[in-house]
Each structure stands twice: as C-alpha cells, then as structure tokens.
Amino acid sequence: MFERILPPMANNEYRGSPLAFYGLCLFTAVFAFRSLVHFLKDDGGINSIASIITFHGTPDPDQVIHLFASLWGGQQLITLVILVTVLFRYRNLIPFMALLLVIEQLTRMASGLMHPLDPTFYEYRPPGAAGTFIFLVFSLLILVLSLRQRPDSGAKRSGGRRD
C-alpha cells in the first residue's frame, strides 16, 4: 500500500482506476479557478465570494486580509502546477496527490474549528463552508479509487500472483 502512495520511482505508469484520474482532472479544474480567484481578484474573493464583511479602521485592515488571500492563492497556484505535472507526467503519483488533497481538506476543517467565525462575519453562508466537506469526500473517493489496481495490472508475469 505504501508503495502505491509513494512509489520508489515517479513515472507515467498509472495502474489505479481511470475514474480517479478523471476525478483528479475535474478537481484540478476547480482548483485552478479557485487559485486564480484568490491570487488575482482585488479582494482575493474574501468579500465578493466568501462574503466576509469589510472592516473599517486606519490603517485599513482589509488590505492585510486581501494580501493573505492573495498569498494563499499563490500557494494554491504552486499546488496547481504540481497537480498538472502529476496528471501529465507522473501519473503513478496520483494516489500521493489524492492523499495530499485529503490532508488539505482536513487542515482546512481544523483551521475552521481552531479559528471559527460566527455568522456576524458573513453576509451569507460562503461556498467554502459546504465545499470543504464535499471536496473531502471527493478527495477520499479519488484516493480509494487510485489505490485500486486494475485486474490486469497486478498480475506478475511469472505465476500470475497479485500484489
């Protein structure tokens, strides 16, 4: 199992379910949109999409919040480059990427529990509130499917034994 998640050599010989590959492609498209919004949008999507209220003060505290949203988007763009590289060049790392996506969703949930924002901080319920749980389930599904060996891929040439 460990070698399926972290193989000794990265290559393009993926043996898991094709559904995991296509699921990761879909996840990558959504991830690309989300990353670009956080990085490029003036407010990092914090006010316009996540509906967090604006704050007033001198100096403007929203500038710090928007900066951190943009930095977060930059980090997500780096992850996006890794996702695309795995999909097109190192597909046997798909289980590893799926595990990282599961961990990311769990840390997002943990952050929300450690630093909860009550409804007074929002104009409406942000999409990320439900989206994180949906992405967690989707990431777990991709992980499980990517670890399943296709029937013909686990057989060895001598004796037909499966790993």
- Report pLDDT digits (tens) over 96-154: 999 999 999 999 999 999 999 999 999 998 888 888 999 999 999 999 999 998 766 55
What pLDDT does 156 receive?
Answer: 46
pLDDT in the model for residue 161: 43
Provide the b/e sequence for 58-86 (b: ≥16 CB within 10 Å). Answer: eeeebeebbeebbebbeebbebbeebeeb
Q: How confident is the model at residue 23 (pLDDT cuts 50, 70, 90)?
A: very high
The phi and psi torsions of 114 (rounded to 5 degrees) equal -75, -30
Partners of residue 155 on adjacent β-strands: 162
Residue 162: per-residue pLDDT: 44
pTM over 0.75: yes
pLDDT of residue 163: 43
Residues 123 and 100: their CA atoms lie apart, in Å, by: 31
Q: Which residue has the tokens 């790392």?
A: 93
pLDDT at 152: 63
User: Which tens digits make up the pLDDT trace of 51-104?
Assistant: 999 999 999 999 999 999 999 999 999 999 999 999 999 999 999 999 999 999
